[in-house]
Amino acid sequence: MNSNYCIGVDFGTDSVRALIVDAHSGEEIAAAVHPYPRWRDGLYCNPIRNQFRQHPKDYIEGLEQTIKACLKQAGSVVRANIRAISVDTTGSTPVAVDAAGTPLALLPGFADNPNAMFVLWKDHTAVEEAAAINALAKKFNIDYLKYVGGIYSSEWFWAKLLHVVKSDEAVYKACYTWVEHCDWMPFLLTGGKHADQIKRGICTAGHKGLWSSEYDGLPSDDFFATLDPRLMKVVKTYPKRVYTADQLAGSLSEEWADRLGLSTQVLIGIGAMDAHMGAVGGQIEPYFLSKVMGTSTCDMLIVPPHELGHRVVRGICGQVNGSIIPGMIGLEAGQSAFGDVYAWFKQLLLWPVQHLSNSNSADPILTRQLYARLQDQLLDGLANEAAKLTFDESSELAVDWLNGRRTPDANQQLKGLVSGLTLGSSAPSIYRSLVEATCFGARKIVERFQEEGIPVKGLIGVGGIAQKSPFIMQMLADILGMPLKVHRSEQTCALGAAMFAATVADIYPSVEKAMEAMGPGFDRVYHPNITYTELYEKRYQRYNQLGVCIEKA
């Protein structure tokens, strides 16, 4: 058998990771992770304003360093037999580029301008602009929002562009077009010279950019011109043709071949969102809800087109033919905060150690070591204690909208809540309520699919939380009342990208065949514990009542 290896690169919220995979056995040969240094230091972000921006240098440096590290681990034989690279990124995470396709933050005069950087998926500065899009859409005879669940979100492409256009005249004037992160990375690797050469993927175009074959591309010029005439600059540069992730973006450029020590014969695939490639890496199958669980969740279903028919699912993040698996309808939903809820609580508890101990400690080194140890162990400790607690209908109850609500029915202005606090409330009991709330939020998503006539036959859990937190996974199975199987790979997004790369390189005729050959299978299955079914049902109804109160407030 010929030796064929593929590289999957996964740009997450906090770091980029690269993975070299044997395209025949699926064996993970080498892996490397690079945290974004500027992001880690909190640069260009303002959490109070929900502003989260990332500098393109974080991405470029991470891309080079992780692939080089993987190649060094793998050795010369593997290096000589790398066939293709595919990339996934967070989304919607767009950036303003000039005519050469260069992000403006890489140009003189824009290096420290957050509006010239990638606007991260979790950036919610465009709430007003999303509201304007939703209001305008109601005035048109054609329902331009029906394939994105009927509500346009501040997390998405056009709302973010409109916010930047209104906020920063200099960026608007210098901008040639507005490009998703997952579309820009292949352009970078292939050495594109003009922004018109950027091949846009169906994944972000359909779910975030309002592209649909029904409209022969984007909504009408009248729609965008009425919203804001300045948007027409980008509308005119947006191509009518978009691509599935099993298609070719080009070959590795001479510059990047030299930087990485690879051949220019290495093929580069079309990019896609991290969770979509993560669903493929996690071996998604029709009607099984694939939950990629990280800082947020992205919940995906695939449905054969002839079985979905003309049904349109309300209040989700879109349904797009070919967005997850070519030839299948990809349905996307998700929660705006999942792991971020737990991270928020951890940082809340660690505040005294981080901010007070340093100034009062006689031994700053010991203080830093203590802080690092608590960072690593706190959530596991809380989970262990929370699992021992007894709870009833009146125990602490939370709502998980700490970063707004993505699905069902996007509303990023909503806030979270913890109720039922008493002087007897403890850190483990509050943590238990937060975990429960995120699981209730997941149940709302399942119920929306079921209400719209889409059966959910089971759950697939992928990502770090799925693998590392039995407490959360068991509660999720209990609350959703169905088995949850956890995928074995720790790098499902990067693995999915490698599967697409193998398809791009014609090692497999389809991504389904690549999944079958390269997928490592599942690690364990969590079955619902019916002991708590009745109690969770009562608490879930109270969760819904609290949600109604928040929305009316």
pLDDT tens column, 7-38: 999 999 999 999 999 999 999 999 999 999 99
Question: Within a 10 A sphere around the Cβ of 311, how many other Cβ atoms?
Answer: 12
Question: Within a 10 A sphere around the Cβ of 179, how many other Cβ atoms?
Answer: 27
Whole-number Å distance between alpha carbons of 461 and 525: 10
Are 209 and 231 a contacting pair, CB within 8 Å? no
pTM of whole model > 0.85?
yes
Question: C-alpha dihedral over 106, 124, 271, 243, to 10 degrees?
Answer: -110
Distance of CA 211 to the CA centre of its chain: 19
* Strand ranges in 439-534 using DSSP code E only, listed in sequence order: 458-462, 484-487, 522-526
Q: Cis link prior to 94 (omega < 30° from 0)? A: no
Contacts of 497 (CB under 8 A, 6+ apart): 7, 8, 9, 10, 19, 86, 87, 88, 269, 277, 281
Whole-number Å distance between alpha carbons of 333 and 449: 9
462 phi/psi in degrees, rounded to 5: -135, 155
Strands 288-293 and 458-462, sheet pairing: parallel
Are 326 and 244 a contacting pair, CB within 8 Å? yes
Are 399 and 439 a contacting pair, CB within 8 Å? no
**Burial class for 537, CB neighbours closer than 10 Å (0-12, 13-18, 19+):** exposed
Which alpha helices (H) appear in 292-410, and where do they start and end? 305-308, 339-355, 357-360, 364-386
Crossing angle of helices 511-518 and 492-504, rounded to 10°: 130
Q: Which of 439, 454, 453, 407 is nearest to 288 (CA)?
A: 454
Question: Within a 10 A sphere around the Cβ of 102, how many other Cβ atoms?
Answer: 17
415-421 long-range CB contacts below 8 Å, 24 or more apart?
Answer: 415/550, 416/337, 416/341, 417/546, 417/550, 419/546, 420/394, 420/395, 420/396, 421/396
Q: Cis link prior to 92 (omega < 30° from 0)? A: yes
Fold of the domain spanning 339-488+523-552:
Nucleotidyltransferase; domain 5 (3.30.420)
Are 534 and 550 a contacting pair, CB within 8 Å? no
Residue spans of the domains in the chain: they are 5-282+490-520, 339-488+523-552
Question: Within a 10 A sphere around the Cβ of 414, how many other Cβ atoms?
Answer: 20
Say whether 339 sits in a helix, a strand or coil: helix
3-state secondary structure 518-541: HCCCEEEEECCCHHHHHHHHHHHH
Are 202 and 244 a contacting pair, CB within 8 Å? yes
Which alpha helices (H) appear in 75-116, and where do they start and end? 76-80
Residue carrying the six token digits 């050959």: 517
The architecture that CATH gives domain 5-282+490-520 is 2-Layer Sandwich (3.30)
Are 305 and 329 a contacting pair, CB within 8 Å? yes
The whole-number pLDDT of residue 553 equals 83
Q: Same fold for the domain at 5-282+490-520 and the one at 339-488+523-552?
A: yes
Structure tokens given for 14: 């906090």
Per residue of the chain (553 residues), give pLDDT as tens. 568 999 999 999 999 999 999 999 999 999 999 999 999 999 999 999 999 999 999 999 999 999 999 999 999 999 999 999 999 999 999 999 999 999 999 999 999 999 999 999 999 999 999 999 999 999 999 999 999 999 999 999 999 999 999 999 999 999 999 999 999 999 999 999 999 999 999 999 999 999 999 999 999 999 999 999 999 999 999 999 999 999 999 999 999 999 999 999 999 999 999 999 999 999 999 999 999 998 899 999 999 999 999 999 999 999 999 999 999 999 999 999 999 999 999 999 999 887 776 565 557 777 778 888 888 899 999 999 999 999 999 999 999 999 999 999 989 899 999 999 999 999 999 999 999 999 999 999 999 999 999 999 999 999 889 999 999 999 999 999 999 999 999 899 999 999 999 999 999 999 999 999 999 999 999 999 999 999 999 999 999 999 999 999 8
The whole-number pLDDT of residue 445 equals 97
Whole-number Å distance between alpha carbons of 382 and 430: 9
What does each C-alpha distance from 409 to 185, 276, 291 come to in angstroms?
31, 20, 18
Which DSSP string do the residues of 374-390 spell out, in sequence order? HHHHHHHHHHHHHTT--
Residue carrying the six token digits 């074959």: 213
Say whether 329 sits in a helix, a strand or coil: strand
The whole-number pLDDT of residue 126 equals 97
Q: Which of 140, 121, 155 is nearest to 224 (CA)?
A: 140
The whole-number pLDDT of residue 361 equals 59
Which alpha helices (H) appear in 11-80, and where do they start and end? 37-40, 56-74, 76-80
Are 399 and 359 a contacting pair, CB within 8 Å? no
Are 313 and 454 a contacting pair, CB within 8 Å? yes
Strands 5-11 and 15-22, sheet pairing: antiparallel
